[in-house]
Amino acid sequence: MDAVELINISKSFGPIQAVSDCSFNVGSGEVLSLLGPSGCGKTTILRMIAGFEVPTSGRILIAGQDMVGRRPYERNIGIVFQDYALFPHLTVEQNVGYGLRYHGAPSAEAHARVSEMLQLVQLEHLRARRPGQLSGGQQQRVALARALATRPDVVLLDEPLSALDAKLRLELRAELKEVLARVRAAVIVVTHDQEEAMSLGDRVVVMNAGRLEQIGAPMAVYAAPATRFVAEFVGRSNWFSGTLSDATGGKASIVCAEGISVAAGTRGLTTGTQHEICIRPERLAVHREPPATAPGRVAFAARVIESMHLGPDLSIVAMMPSGKRLLVIEKNVGQFLIPPGTDVILSFDAADAIVIPSAPTAAS
């Protein structure tokens, strides 16, 4: 039995369809990232699981029980809000212990549980402080401790790290992952940050315009995006579009306008259909010298028009004779930065090409 189960959930606010027919489930101990741009409906899904919004249709099960008509306090949940929502008039200790009195814990037990939680987030020394006297990172940890204290079936985190500055966010992300790994609850993290989603989640759900685009393990979503939207939202990408050549021989290739052709597997691809080819920037190689031809390697000429040092990486933008611009990310291994204006050869392994059927333009 899954801890959380969403079955055909839809939600509309007046004429606006915020969530359309979403189904997924999360097991106990699993961390699921709900990833998408702002306004994609991910927060609405979180609020429906919490009971702050009522689905227009569909069912939500928590620990096997139907949640329809149940108030938030009748569900066994814990939430970390984007603004943390710590009670400013209570101390850290009182904040963490707030939910325990409503869960019928005797005071001695509640006290022990508060200490346990504060230990978990390493804030025991600040138990008498008020939220206003804490740093952003400390507030985030108190919010997490408070949400976990009541042993919820589901823990919902709404953009848990977005209020922190970049450096602290990385630190807390690692810490959060560690704490969440010890939690037996089903955890759902809502975020618009793909790195956060991929690093925290055991599985990632990518959403767009109220619909689920793809569900899968982080690496699967990155390496094999189901749609162009997913490929573009998760990581960076270069695109070619082309037509599938004769697929009958079992060895079809996609021929692009730029004179490139990529061998494609034939998983039911139809001859003559349009396809998009996505190449991740780190899978493109820049050759300062013409490379020796290798089987399965696609090479073509381009001219560097921009190159930047990013520290661990080099970012190069090159333009093909057709005018198409491509982004290349190279690991910094001490090589020279190629000056703009240099003619180079770009290449990629055909196996690294991600082939996605073009969305029918007439319908979209």
Residues within the interface to another protein (CB under 8 A): 50-52, 71-73, 77-79, 81-83, 85-89, 98-99, 102-103, 130-133, 146-147, 150
Backbone CA torsion sign across 182, 184, 190, 196: positive
| Residue placing its CB nearer to another protein in the complex, 85 or 223 | 85
Shortest Å distance, C-beta 303 to another protein: 51
Shortest Å distance, C-beta 150 to another protein: 6
| Residue placing its CB nearer to another protein in the complex, 96 or 338 | 96
Shortest Å distance, C-beta 132 to another protein: 3
Task: Find all residues with CB under 8 Å of 242, minimum gap 6, and list them.
Answer: 254, 255, 256, 257, 260, 261, 262, 274, 275, 277
Shortest Å distance, C-beta 213 to another protein: 28
Shortest Å distance, C-beta 187 to another protein: 14
| Residue placing its CB nearer to another protein in the complex, 165 or 289 | 165
Shortest Å distance, C-beta 302 to another protein: 50
| Residue placing its CB nearer to another protein in the complex, 139 or 214 | 139
Question: How far from each other are the two terminal CA atoms of the chain, in whole angstroms?
Answer: 38
Closest CA to 98 of 149, 27, 50: 149
| Residue placing its CB nearer to another protein in the complex, 111 or 236 | 111
Task: Find all residues with CB under 8 Å of 283, minimum gap 6, and list them.
Answer: 348, 349, 352
| Residue placing its CB nearer to another protein in the complex, 119 or 133 | 133
- The β-bridge partners of 188 are 32, 156
